Structure 1
Amino acid sequence: MAASVVSTCGRALRCNGMLRRWAEFRHSSDGAALQKLSVETGDTEERIIIPRKKTWDKLAVLQALASTVNRDPTASHYMFQDDPYLIPRTTAEFKLFSLSKESGCNAAKYVFNTSPHLFQTDYAEPSIPCLMPETLQPQIEGVCEAALEELIQLKRVKSAVDMFDQLLQSGTTVSLKTSNRLLDLLCFYGDREPPRDDQLEESEQEDMVAHQSAPAGQLHKASNFVRVWRENNNAERIFNVMAERNAPSFCAMIRGMVKYGAYTKAFDMYTELVNSRLTADVHAFSALISAAPEVKEKYSEKWDLIKELLQQMVEQKVQPNLLTFNAVLKSLRRCGALSKLCALQTLSEMKALNIEPSLATFDHLLKIFYKSASSARGQTEIIFEVLDEIEGKQFVVHDPDDVNFFPDAMRVCLDLKDVELAYRLHKVKEMGNNWKLEGNPYQQSTYYGRFFNLLCMMEHIDVILKWYKKLIPSRYFPNSYAMRDLLQALDIGSRLDLVPQIWKDIKQFGHRYKPDLVDEVLVLMARDIQTPEVQVSFADCALDIKSLYETREMRKLPLEWTASALGNITILLSRAGKSEEAWRMLELFKKNNRVPSNQVMNEFLDTAKQSNNKVQAVNLVKMAAEFALPTTANLVKRVMEEFELSEEQKKTLEDLEAESGDNSNDSDREQK
């Protein structure tokens, strides 16, 4: 009986242990909760080793779900899904929608934070404190250092400066820590009030003005707006009146001066720091390295100054970081022939210090080795080495210049005319979350525009159309140049039958009133004779284009009738058998003081012959005589041979032929 009880208890304990271990196995992250059991000699007890637990990211479930869904190329950008009726169709609408939505969010945030008393009731379940209104109004009254710290925390630049002055006037000594925090605030914002959430910074306002007025090729240059370090500003004044100054005080001034263009003053401040037997931090050295090309003229002098700063970092035992080396490479872009060799030395130094390069590092390398299209063709190995290095990797932003890599790398691919290289680059961009480093809308448009341009030049038309459906308009709103590249690719690939379909997209993307693009569409459709079905679609497209010219005067649009546009539309309508519409186009020649070509007259005569319309044929000869065309005699001959005319019509044609002959003789005598 006792043995039976012991056996039953033993089975129960083992069962309980198995259940416990199974529960641990289910809750473990690596499935290794059941470890080897150690059994000691003469003892049957089991010892369980608890595995290490894995802490999952808060977004792990959402990321897992997102990985199961592919992007829909026919859908618009996710930021436009809230307002389907306002989905943009052009680049201009995209910018307007994006800025409007961001402005609305910032305005709501401003009201939310400046009037928190209007949002006292919290309906959220559960309540999330970080989503509640922030306290943006000062709570500490009186003149004291605590009030000054609160103003600095709230980024009240002017109020903080006034409070600092009041403390000095009252004889109160401000601590070094608080003074340095005030210096940081002043140097970061350039001694100006930071913009509110519902306002744009001055640089962004300049950027918007530049985007509205500057040509497309100068938008990027116009956006590089830099504020100026004002003479004798509050930062310099407070720095000079500080009773005590340490290294962070000098470093804040150096960074602020470099940020706002006072490069010579920054180096003077660094000299004063060294004379005070203090050591600058890595951020101050990085700022000085980026300013080195601004204070020296010769390439060798610029590089010597950079090496001197790096040597001083070694002497002062300041460890460089990624931003330091990126600043070196960025400055080397302005060092001429020295830049290539020195850039490779810089990379070797980064490897020696085990500093992983970022995309900005590779971007600076590309700009050093591929400064123009001609240099790109001469130096082809660096871009391949860069892609070998970054393939299969995911990147996050470590440097503000990281977002410049993909557009600049695609420029190199375009200059090299290497579509396979472009595919490799695009694969890297699409991997993981690398798409987050596409940059602003202008950089995204530049990247996809160069990619699509390269495809149109180098790929087969079927591949081009596949990418066209994949990228446009879900990721890229093509400009008129991209649509012209596509039309030329259709021409090379003998797929002109798709021109009417592309014309619909041209209208949707807001390029219908571009004269060069409209002429390109008409020229391609009118150049060769197609099948009857295609000619009918061409004629419908031509009538659609004709309607744009008819509404030109009412809408004050830049389209004006040219002889080429009138002639091509007339030819397209004639080939489709639309003789009445074609004749009305011929009448527009006279109305707009344009002269039709010989091809236009012959094409219309072919249409009149197919319908056996003798009246239109005779009227065509009359119109040719009115324009005094040299081909009038040939038209008379064709009409008399190819049509059964009445005696009256023959007499009319003979008179026109004689009149045209006299006019030609008179013109010959005038020329002699």
Structure 2
Amino acid sequence: MYSNIIVSRQWPRVACLCRTLTNIEGQKLPQNSKSFDGITPPPRIPRGPTDILQALAATVGHDPTATHYKYHDDPYLIPLSNFRKRAYALSAEAGRKAAAWIRDEHAELFSMRQWDPPGKKKTPHFNADPHIDAYAPRPIYNDESQVTEEDLIYTINNALIEDSLKVFQLLGGLEGVNDELKLQFLQLLCFYNEKEPDSMEWLEERWFAATTRDRQATTWKLGGLADKIFTAMEPKTSEAYCTIIQGMAKYYQAERAHELAQEALEKGIPLSTSVYNALIGCVGFLREGTTLRMEALKSLLTQMNEQGLSPNDETLTACLRSISAWGGGKMLQELALQVVAEFKHLGIHPGLSAYYYLLCLFCKERGPRIDILSTILTDLESREKIEAMEATDTNFFITAMGVCSDHLQDINMAERLHMLLMKGDNYKLVGDAYKESIYYRHLVTIACRHAPFERTTELLDTLVPNVYVPEPSVMEEIIRTLEVAGAGDRLAQAWSQLVVFGHAKRTKLVEKLVEAMTNTYQYQDEEVKSKMRSAAVDIFNFGELMTEQEENKDVRAPALPKLSATALSNIVELCATSEDAASASWSAAEAALRRLQRGDATGVPARPQALAEVAEKAAAVGKQGVAAAAVAYLAECGFEEATAASVQVLSKILNRTNEEVLALLQEPQINLSSSLQPSAMSVVESYHLAKTGVPARDAADSSTSSDSDSESTSDDE
């Protein structure tokens, strides 16, 4: 009875749909290039799903001071030290690992309806819409699993080595799989050498693993399943030969790989260019000596020409990789240049990997200085876009920056290289977090050594700390640069950076900073001096806090090295320049002197005259305890400055001339003890200790004992 109502309601929707289709049809571009009204619309440009977002991002520009996207964009949550960055990234990845573990260990929670009624049969389902295979639980295969060839195809396509081995056994092994699927399985085994590959999901673990170079050694699994499958395959096709040869060459089973290549050529089986590229990469394992290796390389290239195979970019990279691994010398360098010239004649230009191996060959650490990098940069700068072709492409920029810093020591070349990295999308070629840190380490180091101070500080303000956190060696270079430039304000800020970066416990680095502040202190204005004194007080208080923690910690833990006597003396010198006797800097100076007297420092001060001047300043502002402690320490260490310092300090404490003080010091100390205050009496004792080298009490005891001896002798007589 409701059919008429339903139909009448549908008519407006149908009419609206027809009008919409008519409008869309009218908006279509004409197929020909010209219209009847004389207006020629432009051809349609295909757009991707993110083109609008990229266009909007291009209008904003890149913020060089922004932190990495994997960290929270909050000033209170952004990690500012290498340890915290590593811990932050790995902890976030550990959470993803925990989720993956729950997914794999309790797969039934994600594949069956657990909330169905008790009497209803459990039905399979997918939680995600659309369904994503990478997030779905992996199937589990055991001895009781009923598998088909589709299961083997699934494990091969997803690079599940252990599961594919299990499924291959369940299917009956060599006799239960067809030849086409057997070839795919052989390709998987040869590519991974029958070992489970590292997961591509856990990027942070691989980024912070600090593995910069693969170990070149024979790791091919001899007599493994791959060899058995290849031996059992009849007839052996060209694909089978290419697969097994490339697998052996990849894992440096060079001799057997070349034997199979010769066997294929004798049987008239064609080989691919990729096979020759793999053979060229391990040609150095076949011969001993540069001459024999060069002949073997030329022989392989000649075979490629005879087979009618055209080389490609990988061929050039393989040649240069082998040549750079053979050592150095002018002969190999000339060979590499000849190879590059021949490939350029064929229209093949070197990529980043090829240039990386050229740098390794020409720019040895202890070799002569050769400027090949300028030619490389000129070529790369002329290209509109640099594409990543091989995994070793990410080694180019860190190696090139290392060449600029250590080999060429050219800041202009380093700036050209950095501009090339920042051009377009080239920054993705810097590599992982570890390589990025190495790159900026070289860049900051060469900037501190060879760039003008203004350009260096601009670079540091841009990079530190969100993009790059300096290592201790780089931080030492920064402190040295600030010291040479006399930048007292930045030196005072450097202490807070050491605390934030986690370097405050590195004693040598702290001592370098204190020494730099001491050397530049006198050239600063009063505001900067106040900041430097505050930094010196904080350094001393931090050391006291660490000392307390050392006393309360476990005995088995390694002890932190103590500050040297020179560093404590510099802290005293910085803190004792305040005109306000009630400031905290004078308290820190007094505490540092007490620590020196207790022997809680290594060595002796390098500039004892500075402590003598501190004693005079302390006596002038009324800090007599500080003056007495400084003079006493100088006398105990046996410095000749203690005598003159004692006279000057007593002159200021007693408000007398130096001549009157010298006359006063000639009187017996017993007579002076009742008329002088304790601090002045301590200075007198220090004066006699410096003059005689014997403490006053010991001298008095020795004189008393000598008098008693003489009296006993006269009595005997």
Interval containing the TM-score (normalised by the shorter chain): 0.7 to 0.9
- Residue of structure 2 equivalent to 1:571: 573
Q: Look up the SS of the partner of 2:693 in the other structure.
A: helix
1:160-199 map, 5 Å:
160-161=164-165, 163-164=167-168, 172=175, 174-194=177-197
The residue number in structure 2 matching 1:473 is 465
SS of structure 1 residue aligned to 2:59: coil
Is 1:384 the equivalent of 2:394? no
Correspondence for 1:310 among 301, 304, 314: 301
Tell me which amino acid in the other structure corresponds to 2:564: T
Match of 1:251 in 2: 242
Aligned partners of 2:610, 2:166: CA distance in 1, in Å?
Answer: 80
User: Are positions 1:408 and 2:402 aligned together?
Assistant: no
Q: Cα RMSD between the aligned structures?
A: 3.6
Match of 2:608 in 1: 598
User: Retained in 2: the 8 A contact 1:138–1:151?
Assistant: no
| CA shift in 2, pair 1:92/1:302, >3 Å | farther
Q: 1:355 to 1:57 in 2, by over 3 A?
A: farther
Residue identity in the other structure for 1:390: L
Aligned counterparts of 1:658 and 1:628: Cα–Cα separation in 2? 11
| CA displacement at 1:334 relative to structure 2 | 2.9
Partner of 2:5: none
Render the CA deviation track for 1:208-260: whole Å, top value 9, x for unaligned: 7x75xxxxxxx645x75878222311111222222331122122112222222
Q: Which stretch of structure 1 is more off in the superposition, 111-120 or 331-340?
A: 111-120
Question: Offset of 1:443 from its aligned partner?
Answer: 1.0
Deviations 1:462-518 (A, max 9, x none): 221111111112321211112111111112222123211122112111111111210
Residue 345 of structure 1 deviates from its aligned partner by: 2.2
TM-score (norm 2): 0.77
Matched residue, 1:538: 532
Aligned partners of 2:73, 2:99: CA distance in 1, in Å?
Answer: 17
Equivalent residue for 2:410?
418
CA distance in 2, matches of 1:440, 1:200: 9
- Higher alpha-carbon Rg: 2
Q: Tell me, in whole angstroms, the C-alpha distance in 1 between the residues paired with 2:628 and 2:176.
A: 104
Identity percentage of aligned residues: 26
- Residues 78-93 of structure 1 aligned to structure 2 (within 5 Å): 78-81=69-72, 86-93=77-84
Please say which of residues 108-117 and 55-64 is displaced more in the overlay.
108-117
Q: Does 1:117 align with 2:111?
A: yes
Q: Say how many residue pairs are matched.
A: 617
Per-residue deviation, residues 31-86 of structure 1 (Å, max 9, x unmatched):
xx99667xxxxxxx778877643222332112111111223344321111278765
| Contact 1:552/1:560 (<8 A) preserved | no
Q: In structure 2, what is the Cα distance between the partners aligned to 1:22 and 1:155?
A: 50
Change (3 A) 1:483 1:128: same
- The alignment partner of 1:320 has SS state of coil
Mapped partners of 1:231, 1:544: distance in 2: 63
SS of the counterpart of 1:307?
Answer: helix
Aligned to 1:370: 363
The equivalent position to 1:609 in structure 2, one of 597, 605, 619, is 619
**Residues 352 and 632 (structure 1 numbering): CA distance in 2 closer, same or farther, change over 3 Å?**
closer
More off after superposition, 402-411 vs 152-161: 152-161
Secondary structure of 1:525's aligned partner: helix
Q: 1:322 to 1:504 in 2, by over 3 A?
A: same
Is 315-324 or 96-105 further displaced after alignment? Answer: 96-105
Q: How many angstroms apart in 2 are the aligned matches of 1:610 and 1:22? A: 96
Give the partner amino acid of 2:267: S
Compute the displacement of 1:278 (Å): 1.1
Q: CA deviation at 1:104?
A: 3.5
Distance 1:383 1:568, change over 3 A: same
Amino acid in the other structure paired with 2:690: S
**C-alpha displacement at 1:612, in angstroms?**
3.7
| CA pair 634-664 structure 1, distance change in 2 beyond 3 A | farther
Aligned equivalents of 1:150, 1:21: Cα separation in 2 = 44
- CA distance in structure 1 between the aligned counterparts of 2:560 and 2:366, rounded to whole angstroms: 34
Alignment match of 1:72 (pick from 51, 63, 74): 63
- CA–CA distance in structure 1, aligned partners of residues 203 and 393 of structure 2: 23
In 2, distance between residues paired with 1:551 and 1:655?
33
Tell me the amino acid that sits aligned with residue 569 of structure 1: I
Q: Counterpart of 2:221?
A: 230
Output the amino acid matched with 1:396. Answer: E
Please give the alpha-carbon distance, in whole angstroms, between the structure 1 residues aligned to 2:237 and 2:465.
Answer: 55
- CA–CA distance in structure 1, aligned partners of residues 446 and 299 of structure 2: 43
Q: 1:22 to 1:573 in 2, by over 3 A?
A: farther
- Normalization by structure 1: what TM-score? 0.82
CA distance in 1, matches of 2:198, 2:391: 20
Q: Which amino acid aligns with 1:468?
A: L
Structure 1 pair 20–129 and aligned structure 2 pair: CA distance change class (3 A): closer
Q: Which of the numbers 422, 446, 453 marks the counterpart of 1:454? A: 446
Note the residue ranges of structure 2 that are not aligned, 5 or more in a row: 1-22, 114-123, 551-558, 580-584, 657-671, 696-717
Deviation larger for 134-143 or 596-605:
134-143
Which residue pairs with 2:485 in the alignment?
493
Residue of 567, 582, 589 corresponding to 2:589: 582
Contact 2:636–2:689, Cα closer than 8 Å, also in 1:
no
Pair 1:657 & 2:650 matched: no
CA distance, structure 2, for counterparts of residue 388 and residue 61 of structure 1: 33
Q: Which amino acid aligns with 1:534?
A: V
1:562 is the counterpart of 2:564:
yes
Counterpart for residue 639 of structure 1: 649
Cα distance in 2 for partners of 1:52, 1:619 equals 89
- TM-superposition CA deviations, 1:516-561 (whole Å, max 9, x none): 2101111011124243333221221111111222122444462413
* Cα distance, 1:160 vs structure 2: 3.6
- The one-letter code sitting in structure 1 at the alignment partner of 2:354 is T
1:663 CA drift (Å): 2.3
Question: Structure 1 CA distance, aligned partners of 2:485 and 2:189?
Answer: 61
Give the SS at the match of 2:220: coil
Displacement after TM superposition at 1:397 (Å): 1.3
The more displaced of 191-200 and 314-323 is 191-200
Change (3 A) 1:491 1:619: closer
- Structure 1 window deviating more from structure 2 (187-196 vs 177-186): it is 187-196
Tell me, in whole angstroms, the C-alpha distance in 2 between the residues paired with 1:340 and 1:583: 64
Give distance in 2, aligned partners of 1:312 and 1:571.
Answer: 77
Show the 5 A alignment for 1:103-114. 103-108=94-99
Instruction: Check 1:188–1:496 CA distance in 2 against 1; reply closer, same or farther (3 A cut).
Output: same
Secondary structure at 1:254's aligned position in 2?
Answer: helix
Compute the displacement of 1:579 (Å): 3.0
Which of 333, 342, 346 does residue 335 from structure 2 map onto? 342
